[in-house]
Chains A and B, each alone.
Chain A
């Protein structure tokens, strides 16, 4: 340890003498995290212990790949300990039981897609998001049996479709039907959990699962084929959220959690295979083919530039309000949430993630990385209100991950994987 320190000091002095390093250069880990690590205050730790929230319980959804990779990498790499925190992971199979746990205070950090988080908002749960967004534009596909005669969207008329009632899949499917000139009433919907959809059961003409089930069925189980993609008809997104008490009493813990999420993403980007191996240790993922987990993790973690994790509130709030309207219109919610409800969901807007990006020397992104060239937030909101096909970039359809960083992505020089990147002059 001392030998290594001495060596690095000698090397640093030598490089300075050679003019390679600028004076007082920022130090980074190999995966690009600025050194030294910020430590959580003693006061916050004592407060957490006083609450009985030590270690902090972090609930995640194992089958939601990409999102699950982050906490598993955090724990595996000891990113919590490096900041003086102690996190204990709790694996859940879906959003509703996780919601119950976070409302009851059994976990203090949780995750959820746009539908479960809408439930939390409606029920006025003491939970908000510090602005960590998960896996936007996630795959949602319509699958049919291998011998299905269905060819075009109109063929779905009068057919029986299995999906999770009240989910983003139902929402996107309804939008898909309308977008193709049909009415949701033209189709008989059977509520069917994802594991049952994955069997492509008899008596069902089509199923509408979300990632990673479509590719699991079509590519690995080969028990169904993809009929069409409903993802272009919605903006799917989820968040990391935390108990309000932490925002109020231990804001440095909130910042540490946001920092860890981004740092874990960088670790995964640098060595996606290692991140997949860590992810596959979760028992809930043991049955998935390793190459499948790899493909899904690439699509959800490193296909886009890291800005996918950034809370574009002006984009997500109207998309969220659209979800709330769907739930209200279908009689599943008694009150209709507004855009403002979703703006408020992001406690402090984007300030926590802004701080993280500034720490890294990254520019605050103006538009989400899934907007195609020429699309603006205003244009997106207009298309959303008109119920148009959104034509967002689909991460699972990209041939290769987007390179990062470009000079325009940086405000300061940044080092990743041993290479220095310069901002645009």
Chain B
């Protein structure tokens, strides 16, 4: 390869292409020959493409994607504001942290999915219940990283500011928050990813739209092409959101070396 800059992406593309080709051959040629019924369980990539075209043509796919995005963006916005606020407060005020941190650490390991039955009882059926599950997924990574971000700020910087007559609000605004920002942004990125995963699980129950619903509904009818399509889209959208968050990170914290 004469151009080293192009070599790496090409290698990656070749690997993905080879995997897709192998999948196509196994699903469309080998499996039907060995066990025709197994082809239902492992449709070829071209079958997934056909399902994609069908659902795009009918408008169903856009409908489900938008429904999922609407839920995740709304819930993530709430989780970001609440999580950063609480994280900074716990990290900044020791006494408050002593009170609240154990509660956060107690609730944090409970998977968002475990909340689904209660969420349905509390919020009923609808977007609020789904958004609550996404919120739980996104909230804790944001809180934990915000706490760590605040606590990781160099103490000598704070002492210096105090010595120079800085007020606590000035110190919070001009030293703590900028110092904690890289970790806060990392928390937001992780939170968005976890929230996205939780969204799909939340949509498997008590939803009549969204990519999670599409997967479950297709599963009921053994439309495995659509199940795989849903999974691929979740992966692609999750990947796109992560890239977007990394871009935001780089823009907001240019001093951080990746």
Residue numbers of A with Cβ under 8 A of B are 95-96, 99-100, 103-105, 115-116, 119-120, 122-126, 160, 162, 165-166, 189-193, 195-196, 199, 201-204, 327, 331-333
| Most chain B C-beta atoms within 10 Å of own C-beta, residue among A115, A116, A196 | A196
What are 13 inter-chain pairs, A to B, with CB distance below 8 A?
Answer: A103-B38, A104-B37, A105-B38, A125-B37, A125-B40, A160-B125, A162-B125, A192-B206, A199-B117, A201-B125, A202-B121, A327-B221, A331-B58
B213 at the interface (CB under 8 A from A): yes
B41 — which chain A residues lie within 8 A by C-beta?
100, 103-104
Q: B221 to A193, Cβ gap below 8 A?
A: no
The proximity string for B residues 123-152 relative to A, scoring 1 for CB distances below 8 Å and 0 otherwise, is: 111100000000000000000000000000
Q: Nearest residue in B to A202 (C-beta to C-beta)? A: B124
Q: A119-B221, A125-B40 are in contact. Are A193 and B121 (CB under 8 A)?
A: no
Q: Any chain A CB within 8 A of the CB of B166?
A: no
* A-B pairs with lowest CB-CB distance, top 10: A202-B124, A203-B124, A191-B208, A203-B125, A96-B220, A123-B222, A126-B37, A201-B120, A201-B124, A119-B222
Contacts of A204 in B (CB 8 A): 124-125
B208 surroundings in chain A (CB, below 8 A): 165, 189-191
A195 CA / B125 CA spacing, docked (Å): 13
Measured CA separation A129–B36 after assembly (Å): 19
A122 proximity list for chain B (CB < 8 A) = 221-222
Query: In the complex, what distance in Å separates the CA atom of A126 from the CA atom of B35?
Result: 10
In Å, the complex CA distance between A120 and B121 comes to 35
Inter-subunit contact A123/B40 (CB<8 Å): yes
Q: Which of B120, B217, B219, B220 has the most CB of A within 10 A?
A: B220
CA distance A195 to B124 in the complex (A): 13
Partner of B40, one of A103, A166, A199: A103
- List chain A residues, Cβ under 8 A from B217: 165-166, 191
Bound: A201/B118 CA distance, A: 10
Bits for B23-64, please: 1 = Cβ < 8 Å to A, else 0. Answer: 000000000000111101100000000000000001000000
Given known contacts A165-B208, A166-B220, A193-B206, A203 and B37 CB-to-CB distance under 8 angstroms: no
- Taken together as a complex, chains A and B put the C-alpha atoms of A114 and B207 apart, in Å, by 24
Q: Is the CB of B221 within 8 A of A333?
A: yes
Q: Are A199 and B121 in contact (CB under 8 A)?
A: yes
Q: Does B205 contact A (CB under 8 A)?
A: yes
Interface size class of chain B, counting residues whose CB lies under 8 Å from the partner chain: 20 to 34
Q: How far is the CA of A123 from the CA of B47 in the complex (A)?
A: 14
**Known interface pairs A189-B208, A192-B206; A105-B37 also in contact (CB < 8 Å):** yes
Does B222 contact A99, Cβ atoms closer than 8 Å?
yes
| A residues in contact with B58, CB < 8 Å | 331
Interchain CB contact under 8 A, A105 and B121: no
B residues with CB within 8 A of A:
35-38, 40-41, 58, 117, 120-121, 123-126, 205-208, 213, 217, 219-222
Q: Please, which residue of chain A has its CB at the minimum distance from the CB of B213?
A: A191
**A204 to B, closest residue via Cβ:** B125
Please indicate the chain B residues that have their CB under 8 angstroms from the CB of A192 in the complex. Answer: 125, 205-206
Within 8 Å CB of A189, what residues of B?
208
How far is it, in angstroms, between the C-alpha of A199 and the C-alpha of B117 when the chains are bound?
Answer: 9
**What's the Cα separation between A333 and B221 when bound, in Å?**
8
Q: How far is the CA of A162 from the CA of B125 in the complex (A)?
A: 9
Q: From residue B60, how far is it (CB to closest CB) to chain A in Å?
A: 9
Name the CB-closest residue of B to A333: B221
Which residues in B have their C-beta under 8 angstroms from that of A331?
A: 58
Cβ of A95: which chain B residues have Cβ within 8 Å of it? 220
9 other A-B residue contacts (CB within 8 Å) besides A203-B124, A204-B124: A103-B40, A105-B38, A119-B222, A190-B126, A190-B207, A190-B208, A193-B206, A201-B124, A202-B121
Q: Is the CB–CB distance between B125 and A332 below 8 Å?
A: no
| A193→B38 CA distance, assembly (Å) | 28
**How far, in angstroms, from A100 to B219 measured CA to CA in the complex?**
9
- How many angstroms from the CA of A195 to the CA of B85 in the assembled complex? 36
Tell me which residues across on chain A come within 8 A of B121, comparing CB atoms: 199, 201-202
Partner of B123, one of A120, A124, A196, A202: A202
Instruction: Tell me the complex Cα distance, A189–B217, Å.
Output: 14
Give the distance to chain A from B248, nearest Cβ to Cβ, in Å. Answer: 35
C-alpha gap A184/B240 in the complex (Å): 39
Query: From A244, which residue of chain B is reached at the shortest CB distance?
Result: B37
Contact residues in A for B38 (Cβ distance below 8 Å): 103-105
Q: A199-B120, A201-B125, A203-B125 are in contact. Are A103 and B205 (CB under 8 A)?
A: no
In the complex, chain B residues whose CB is within 8 Å of the CB of A104 = 37-38, 41
Q: Which residues on the B side are within 8 Å of A96 (C-beta)?
A: 219-220, 222
Q: How far is the CA of A195 from the CA of B36 in the complex (A)?
A: 35
Docked complex Cα distance between A189 and B213 (Å): 14
Contact flag A332-B126 (CB < 8 Å), given A104-B38, A192-B206: no
Name the CB-closest residue of A to B120. A201
Closest-by-CB residue of A relative to B221 is A119
Q: What B residues does A124 contact at CB under 8 A? A: 36, 40
Chain B residues near A103: list those with CB within 8 A: 37-38, 40-41, 222
Bound Cα distance from A191 to B121, whole angstroms: 16
Q: How many Å lie between the Cα of A277 and that of B41 in the bound state?
A: 37
> Given A166-B220, A202-B125, A333-B221 in contact, is the A193-B205 Cβ separation under 8 Å?
yes
Shortest distance between the CB of A320 and any CB in chain B (Å): 15
Q: Nearest chain-B residue to A191 (Cβ)?
A: B208
CB distance from B201 to the nearest CB of A (A): 13
Complex CA distance for A125 and B117, rounded to whole angstroms: 34
A196 touches B221 (CB 8 A): no
A196 touches B206 (CB 8 A): yes
Identity of the chain B residue whose Cβ is nearest the Cβ of A195 in the assembled complex: B117
Closest chain A CB from B218 CB (angstroms): 10
- Which chain A residues lie closer than 8 Å to B124 at the CB level? 201-204
Quick one: closest A residue to B128, CB to CB?
A203
Chain A residue with Cβ nearest B220: A96
Task: Tell me, rounded to whole Å, the shortest Cβ–Cβ distance linking B33 to chain A.
Answer: 14
Contacts of A190 on B, CB cut-off 8 Å?
Answer: 125-126, 206-208
CB-based contact B222/A203 at 8 Å: no
Bound-state CA distance A105–B39 (Å) is: 12
CA distance A204 to B38 in the complex (A): 40
